[in-house]
Amino acid sequence: MNTTLPEDVFCAITNQIPKTVRLSLFISLARAVRKVTERTLLFAQAQGSPKFAAMLYSFYSGVLDTLDMVVTVRTFSNGAAKKTGLYFASRFQRLTMPTNRQIHIAELPKGKLGVDHFKLVEASMPKTAAGQVLLRIRYLLIDAAMRAWMLGPTYRAALKAGDVMSSAALAEVVESQSPEFRPGDIVYTDDAGCQEFVALDASRLRKLDNIEPLSHLGNIYGTAGLTAYFGLLKIGSPQAGETVVVSAAAGAVGIFVGQIAKLKGCRVIGIAGGQAKCELLTKDFGFDAAVDYKAGNVYQALLAATQGGIDVYFDNVGGEVFEACLFNMKPHGRIVACGVVSAYDADPTKGMQTVRGVPAWFISRRLSMRGFIVSDFYAEREQAIAELKNWVRSGQIKVRDDIVEGLQNFPTALIGLLAGENIGKRMVKVS
């Protein structure tokens, strides 16, 4: 990696800007560069009074709205200007030094997650050791379970204050000290951390096809699609004509569970928060009915919507929605225990929500409920992806990406997801 002028920083320096022709050329150049680079620094040097400089600054800020910075300085021909020049030179140097922006956990939440639980930190660029690969992160894959990682140990170790926030990611190889990877390769890693760059052992990476749009690798062909596929087909075993209910139905996993169940000839009911999401599910994604759990009395609403009970319940949320579904289960029904979104953003001292009267109900209804982690089925991943690709190509499955721009927006992206802002898979586009 170049340590003096990284490829993602462009510096345009111009003199005497107010000449119309030079100005328009300069603007086109800056815009063109912006399209292909991560950061652009426009360093505009102008002669004149501070008032003139301020006017120029506001003009550029308006016209060059995609640039990070517009700086006007007066000519460097006297002592004061030299000082100004040195100030900007040092700022420029700082901006051109390759750094790695990271999202750290400032403090672990005791109740609801807020932006103050995170902080943006500029760290130095990671270096690769033998067998390692330097990655530029393209998309962080946001999952409600990230909130659970802040509660305590789950299927992975708990996070603590001061850690770089964890995240799975799609990334591009920048440098490689492993024969398996070359610059330009696209990879998936289940723990890249919320940051711009990371150096990881090659064994922690999975090479992916470079497809368009790249984001689909983190969505239908990633954990969301595979979780829906394996959870529904391997554990739910839906049969044509059966009734399948899925919660967080407009979320990343739920939206595919419903569509796959429809492909298998089932009657599908989605549970989601709000009328708008419910309408989207029935109008755009082919669900037969949808229940708005925020409208209250989910049990009654499900009783009416399912027309006789549930054969397969794909549970993404737990809590009260789970209870309402449980007591609507038909004999020999199957419950796919996938996630517990309703419990993640809660006060950890209150623990996970509990369900009353479960054992007796399980016995009398001969129900089965089985938890799973998507990786349990990774031996069959390639076949699953091939089938998902066919369904997407033939238009039988629609894919919805929910993309938030910019690493700095990771905290609001996760908080918003927990509040139900997302439709489909939420990702943070880092580069």
Ligand X SMILES: NC(=O)c1ccc[n+]([C@@H]2O[C@H](COP(=O)([O-])OP(=O)(O)OC[C@H]3O[C@@H](n4cnc5c(N)ncnc54)[C@H](OP(=O)(O)O)[C@@H]3O)[C@@H](O)[C@H]2O)c1
Q: 28 near 58, Cβ under 8 Å?
A: no
- Contact between 422 and ligand X (CB under 6 A)? yes
Q: What is the DSSP string of 61-111?
A: HHHTTT-SEEEEE--SSSHHHHHHHHHHHHHHHHHHS-EEEEEEESS--SS
Cα-Cα-Cα-Cα dihedral of 220, 221, 225, 227, to 10°? Answer: -160
- Contact between 401 and ligand X (CB under 6 A)? no
- Contact between 40 and ligand X (CB under 6 A)? no
Query: Which residues, numbered 253-312, are part of the site for ligand X (CB under 6 A)?
Result: 253-254, 272-273, 277, 293
Residues contacting ligand X: total by CB under 6 A: 32
Contact with ligand X (CB under 6 A) among 227, 243, 306, 328 = 227
Least CB distance to ligand X at residue 23 (A): 46
In the complex with ligand X, the residue whose CB is nearer, 64 or 343, is: 343
Query: Which residues, numbered 139-198, are part of the site for ligand X (CB under 6 A)?
Result: 143-145
Between CA 328 and CA 316 the distance in angstroms is 16
Give the range of 10-18, 53-61, 212-220, 314-322 binding ligand X by CB under 6 A.
314-322
Closest CA to 244 of 222, 229, 234, 259: 259
- Contact between 100 and ligand X (CB under 6 A)? no
Least CB distance to ligand X at residue 143 (A): 5
- Contact between 321 and ligand X (CB under 6 A)? yes
In the complex with ligand X, the residue whose CB is nearer, 199 or 337, is: 337
- Contact between 428 and ligand X (CB under 6 A)? no
- Contact between 341 and ligand X (CB under 6 A)? yes
In whole angstroms, how large is the CA radius of gyration of the chain? Answer: 26
Between CA 165 and CA 159 the distance in angstroms is 8
- Contact between 248 and ligand X (CB under 6 A)? yes
Least CB distance to ligand X at residue 77 (A): 58
Contact with ligand X (CB under 6 A) among 7, 89, 373, 405 = 373
How many other CB atoms sit within 10 Å of the CB of residue 276?
Answer: 12
- Contact between 384 and ligand X (CB under 6 A)? no
Residue 386, H or E segment: helix 381-393
User: Running DSSP on this structure, what letter comes out for residue 380?
Assistant: G
Residue 9, H or E segment: strand 9-15
Q: Which residues contact 134 (CB under 8 A, 6 or more apart)?
A: 1, 126, 127, 128, 173, 174, 175, 176, 197, 198, 199
In the complex with ligand X, the residue whose CB is nearer, 299 or 372, is: 372
User: Running DSSP on this structure, what letter comes out for residue 232?
Assistant: I
In the complex with ligand X, the residue whose CB is nearer, 60 or 344, is: 344
Contact with ligand X (CB under 6 A) among 223, 259, 306, 328 = 223
